[in-house]
Amino acid sequence: MNIIVTGCSRGVGLEICRVLLEQGNTVYGIARSCPEDFKVLQAEYEGKLFFKSVDLADSENVRQNVFKDYCGNKVKIDGFVNNAAVAYDDIVTNLNLNRLKAMYEVNVFTPMMMTKNVIRNMILHHTKGAIIHISSISVHTGYKGLAMYASSKGAVEAFSKDTAREWGPMGIRSNVVVPGFMATAMSSTLTEEQRSKIYARTSLKAATSIRSVAETVVFLLSEKAESITGQNIHVDNGTI
Ligand SMILES: NC(=O)c1ccc[n+]([C@@H]2O[C@H](COP(=O)([O-])OP(=O)(O)OC[C@H]3O[C@@H](n4cnc5c(N)ncnc54)[C@H](OP(=O)(O)O)[C@@H]3O)[C@@H](O)[C@H]2O)c1
C-alpha cells in the first residue's frame, strides 16, 4: 500500500512509518524537518520511504505542495494518516486568537484539505482506501490548559465521522485513533508532577505506548479492519 503520513519526522509519526515499512508498505512522509532518525529509516528501507519538507501551516497551498509536487495523480494513494499537530496550551482566559488560528491551520484546516485531495485520488484510482486521524484523549476527559488544543482535535473527530458516512458507499473508510499521553517532544514540557497526575488518571498508571498507537493505526489502514469505519479507537491505557 502507498500511505501518506504527516508529522513523520519524530514521535508517533516516525513510529507509524516504521511499522508501515516493516509490513511492506511504501510511505510518503511529510514534515518540515528530516532528522537523523528518519534518514536511518530511509537507508534501511531504500526506495520505500519518501520525504518532502512541507509546512502544514499553509493550508491554501496543500494541493500544490503535496498533491502536485509530491504525490501526483500517478501515485495511487491507499491511505492517509493525519498525525502532524501542534499544541497551543493555555487557560481559556489567556486565549490569543492569532495563536488559536495558527494551531487550527495545522491541526484542522490542512488535514481537511489533505483529506479532500486524498479522496479525489482514491476516486480517480477506484481505491477502497483508509483515512486515519490522530486525536487526543483530552477531547474526552478534559485537562486544565488544553481547551484550545482539544477543540481542534474534537473538530477532526467530527470531520472523520461524517467523512466515513459520506464516502462509505465508495468503500473509503475514515477512523480516529485517540491516544493517551505519550512521552514525545509534544509532552516534553510537562513536569514530573504533572506527568504523575496524568498517569494516575489511567488504569495502567503509565504513559501510553507509542508503538501501541502506531500498531493500531496500521491495523486500521489494513484490510483486517475492512468493517471498521466512523469510529474513535482509544489507545490510552484506560484513561478516566
Ligand atoms: N504526545 C502526546 O502525549 C499526545 C497525546 C495525544 C495525542 N497526541 C497527538 O499525536 C500526534 C503526534 O504527536 P507527537 O507527540 O508525536 O508530537 P511531536 O513529537 O511534537 O511530533 C509532531 C510532528 O508533527 C510535525 N509538524 C508539526 N508542525 C508541523 C508543520 N507546521 N508542518 C509540518 N509538520 C509539522 C513535526 O515535524 P516538524 O517539526 O519536523 O515539522 C513532527 O513530525 C499529534 O496529532 C498529537 O496531537 C499526542
Does pLDDT of 194 surpass 90? no
Distance 86 CA to ligand 1 centre (A): 6
DSSP H stretches of helix in 2-143: 11-22, 36-44, 62, 97-104, 110-124, 138-141
> So what's the pLDDT on residue 57?
98
Ligand 1 atom at shortest distance from the alpha carbon of 135: 7
| Residue 87 to residue 102: CA distance in whole angstroms | 10
Domain 2-235 has CATH 3.40.50.720: yes
The cell numbers describing 72, all together, are 501526483
149 is catalytic: yes
| Residue 180 to residue 160: CA distance in whole angstroms | 19
- pTM exceeding 0.95: yes
Beta strands 232-235 and 79-82 are: unpaired
List the beta bridge partners of residue 179.
235
Does pLDDT of 240 surpass 90? no
Residue-wise pLDDT tens digits, 38-72: 999 999 999 999 999 999 999 999 999 999 999 99
Q: Is 150 in the pocket of ligand 1 (CB under 6 A)?
A: no
Domain ranges of the chain: 2-235
Q: What mean pLDDT is predicted for residues 164-171?
A: 98
